[in-house]
């Protein structure tokens, strides 16, 4: 019996160190768990600012719009004003086509008929003794009253059109600053946070490759939304220029030291062409204007592709596809067309 007790005691003493080491390992593991958790929390906390500082996914710019004949450009053999795509433009074209041209035509025909009749009726062979009639009350009243009536009929819609042309833009209008340079245009979107980029005329080969009219095509277009009021702040950097787009009924001088304002709303998507309309130097004829009017959703996509922000202030507030940023953004002045170097008037 004593021998059995001795054997059991010897076994307990033999395995005691192993049991002690297992308990110590459990205690060490329990003690190190808070440290590991704290380390993980610290790593997550440190990674949070880095994740917040990481740039959002870039937004792909919408594809460059192709021009459509008859929209925003003159048509072959066109003898009247271009088709208009703003409310003031349609009003101005109606005044020109439906009132001014008929009145001018009628007056011209009437004067021509009267001259021919006088030349035939009162020629020397038919009237050897000239008439001594000096006054005709009815005729004098008619040629005084009729012109007054005609001018009043023209004045009423003309004054209304002038008032509409200079009506202030609403508060929610998109503001774009337009600056005329010798000899290119600069566009800036202060509301969207897009800095100024420049727009130069495309060379003939690139314009042809893009399917655009030469002397009207530009490398960087002024991108605007359809159906939203637009306010252009127009100025000049060096000499007087003039920002003119006939199909939008837009024409405003760009005067250095002065901010001129023009507001309008584009009614249809398309590419609208114009030119500088004020003689501004040697390359005056080579600073075209190209406006790309996009539907509102595509315009918001373009704004995000340029690193801008939407009207709500949230730059990620649209479901636009990811991709490389668009080529529109940039403040570096592109080179002039190779066929007409800037400053060399002999090659223009």
- Answer yes or no: is pLDDT of 329 > 60: no
Report the SS3 class of residue 212.
coil
Q: pLDDT, tens digit, for every residue of 35-94? A: 333 344 444 443 333 333 334 447 888 999 999 988 999 888 888 899 999 999 999 999
**Concatenated DSSP letters of 256-321:** BT--EEEEE---S-EEEEEEE-S--STTGGG-EEEEEEE-HHHHHHHHHHTT---TTS-TT-S-PP
Q: pLDDT, tens digit, for every residue of 197-248? A: 999 999 999 999 989 999 999 999 999 999 999 999 999 999 999 999 999 9
The answer to whether the CB of 276 falls within 8 A of the CB of 240 is: no
- Answer yes or no: is pLDDT of 281 > 80: yes
Its pTM stands at 0.71
Which bin fits 214, alpha (ψ -120 to 50), beta or left (φ > 0)?
beta
pLDDT at 312: 63
74 CB-contact burial (10 Å; exposed 0-12 / middle 13-18 / buried 19+): middle
């Amino acid at each position: 019996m004593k021998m059995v007790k001795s054997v059991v005691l010897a076994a307990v003493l033999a395995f005691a160190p192993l049991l002690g080491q297992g308990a110590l390992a459990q205690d060490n593991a329990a003690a190190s768990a808070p440290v590991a958790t704290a380390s993980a929390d610290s790593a997550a906390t440190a990674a949070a600012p880095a994740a917040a500082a990481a740039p959002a996914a870039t937004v792909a710019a919408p594809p460059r719009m192709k021009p459509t004949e008859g929209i925003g450009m003159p048509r072959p053999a066109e003898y009247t004003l271009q088709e208009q795509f703003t409310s003031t433009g349609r009003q101005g074209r109606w005044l020109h086509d439906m009132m001014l041209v008929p009145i001018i035509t009628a007056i011209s025909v009437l004067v021509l008929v009267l001259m021919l009749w006088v030349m035939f009726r009162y020629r020397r062979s038919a009237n050897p003794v000239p008439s001594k009639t000096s006054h005709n009350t009815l005729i004098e009243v008619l040629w005084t009253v009729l012109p007054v009536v005609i001018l009043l009929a023209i004045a009423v819609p003309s004054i209304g059109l002038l008032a509409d042309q200079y009506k202030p833009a609403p508060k929610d209008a998109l503001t774009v600053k337009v600056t005329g340079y010798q000899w290119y245009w600069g566009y800036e979107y202060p509301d969207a946070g897009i800095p100024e980029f420049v727009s130069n005329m495309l060379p003939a080969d690139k314009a042809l490759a893009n399917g655009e009219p030469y002397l009207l095509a530009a490398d960087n277009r002024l991108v605007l939304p359809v159906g939203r009021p637009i306010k252009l702040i127009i100025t000049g950097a060096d000499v007087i220029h003039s920002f003119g787009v006939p199909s939008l009924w837009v024409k405003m001088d760009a005067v250095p030291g002065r901010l001129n304002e023009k507001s309008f709303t584009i009614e249809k998507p398309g590419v609208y062409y114009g030119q500088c309309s004020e003689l501004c130097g040697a390359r005056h004829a080579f600073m075209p204007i190209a406006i790309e009017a996009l539907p509102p959703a595509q315009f918001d996509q373009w704004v995000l592709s340029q690193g801008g922000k939407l009207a709500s202030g949230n730059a990620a507030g649209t479901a636009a596809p990811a991709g490389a940023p668009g080529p529109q953004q940039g403040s570096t002045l592109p080179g002039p067309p190779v066929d007409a170097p800037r400053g060399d008037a002999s090659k223009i």
